[in-house]
Amino acid sequence: MLTALRQEYVLRARIKFTKEGPVTYVGHLDFMRFFQKCIKRTGLPIRYSEGFNPHQIMSFASPLGVSVASTGDYLDIDLKEHVSEAEALDLLNANLVDGVKAISFNYLPDDAVKCMTAVTACSYIVGYKDFSSLGKSESEITAGIKSFYIDSEAINIEKETKKSVRSVDLKPLIYQLSFDENTKEYTMLLCSGSVENIKPELVVDSFHKFLGLEEANRLNLYITRTDMYTGEADSLISLGDIK
């Protein structure tokens, strides 16, 4: 009986969206409420949970920190009926605000894992609002990245959590790290998800420490998440490419 229920036909769709500008100051819980109301306005036939207080079946891949922008975030919703992908995308964009845009809407294969569980890596661009305040030249940063990441065996740091401080080797958790001397921005691909979750600020802080600089002032950084991925480190697939 239970199996029969579970096998009920589920139409799960994945929405890829951006979050930029003033909306980056909206915290994750408020942003989820914003999307619930957006979906309600679209009239998309979203499924609701059972019970006295039914809620929309919707899940976000991973929260964004306040002031962190994104050009590639994801959420999944369950629908009761099929709506064409183009129509759904139009409906969503008519009900979003400046800075939040739905880039794609596509149905997931039956065996697809929910985005929240699936995500294993995220890519970021991180830059300095005032690069000159670092007191380092572009080439020094490039050289620093080479010895900090590319040529190093391990990057051992102390990672603080709410409860404790523990030693972590960042090296295997940073899948890519480079610096562009023209834009003065880092590009990073970092391990993400429930087992290990590496934030870009932590990487910048560790790098600063390595260079003998002060901890990065969060107010001097701008961070954009550019995409989210699933799979093993050597075979990552964008969450948007699961179709």
Partner 1 sequence: MRKLALPDHILMQVDKPARYVGNEFNATIKDKDSIDIRIAMCFPDVYEIGMSHLGIQILYAMFNKREDTWCERVYSPWPDLHKLMKEEKIPLFALESQDPLKDFDIIGITLQYEMCYTNILQILDLSGLALYSKDRGNDDPIIIAGGPCTYNPEPIADFLDICYIGEGEVSYDALLDLYKAHKNSGHYNKQDFLKEAAKIPGIYVPSLYTVEYNDDGTIKEFKSIYEDIPSTIERVLVTNLDEAPYITKPIIPFIRPIQDRVVLEIQRGCIRGCRFCQAGMIYRPNREKSVEVLKAQAEELLKASGHEEISLSSLSSSDYHDLGPLMDFLMDDCLSEGVNVSLPSLRIDAFSLDIMKKVQDVRKSSITFAPEAGSQRMRDVINKGLTVENILDGSSKAFNLGWQKVKLYFMLGLPLETDEDAKAIPQLANSVCAKYYEIPKDQRVGKCQVTMSTSFFVPKPFTPFQWAPMYEPGEYLRRAKLVNDTMKEQINQKSMRYEWHDADITVLEGIFARGDRRLAAAIKDAYENGAVFDAWNEFFSMDRWLEAFERNNISLDFYAYRQRDLDEILPWDFIDIHVSKEFMKREWNNAVAASVTPNCKVRCSGCGANCFKTGVCVESKN
Per CB under 8 A, residues contacting partner 1 are 20-23, 25-27, 30-31, 33-34, 36-41, 43, 48, 52-56, 66-67, 95-99, 129, 218-219
Smallest gap from Cβ 26 to partner 1, in A, equals 4
Q: By C-beta, is 44 or 211 nearer to partner 1?
A: 44
Rounded Cα gap, residues 45 and 39, in angstroms? 9
Smallest gap from Cβ 117 to partner 1, in A, equals 24
Smallest gap from Cβ 113 to partner 1, in A, equals 26
Tokens of 78: 């369950």
Rounded Cα gap, residues 206 and 225, in angstroms? 19
Smallest gap from Cβ 45 to partner 1, in A, equals 9
Rounded Cα gap, residues 195 and 19, in angstroms? 25
Q: By C-beta, is 129 or 146 nearer to partner 1?
A: 129
Give me the amino acid identity at 18. T
Query: Please, which contacts does 55-62 make with residues 24 or more away whose CB atoms are closer than 8 Å?
Result: 58/32, 59/114, 59/115, 59/116, 60/28, 60/32, 60/35, 60/115, 60/116, 61/115, 61/116, 61/118, 61/119, 61/228, 61/239, 62/116, 62/119, 62/122, 62/192, 62/193, 62/228
Query: Residue 225 forms beta bridges with which residues?
Result: 70, 124
Smallest gap from Cβ 90 to partner 1, in A, equals 16
Query: Residue 178 forms beta bridges with which residues?
Result: 187
Q: By C-beta, is 30 or 241 nearer to partner 1?
A: 30
Rounded Cα gap, residues 125 and 111, in angstroms? 31
Q: By C-beta, is 37 or 82 nearer to partner 1?
A: 37
Q: By C-beta, is 30 or 110 nearer to partner 1?
A: 30
Rounded Cα gap, residues 199 and 92, in angstroms? 29
Smallest gap from Cβ 91 to partner 1, in A, equals 12
Q: By C-beta, is 218 or 243 nearer to partner 1?
A: 218
Q: By C-beta, is 95 or 230 nearer to partner 1?
A: 95
Residue 50: is it exposed, middle or buried by C-beta count within 10 angstroms (0-12/13-18/19+)? exposed
Smallest gap from Cβ 231 to partner 1, in A, equals 33
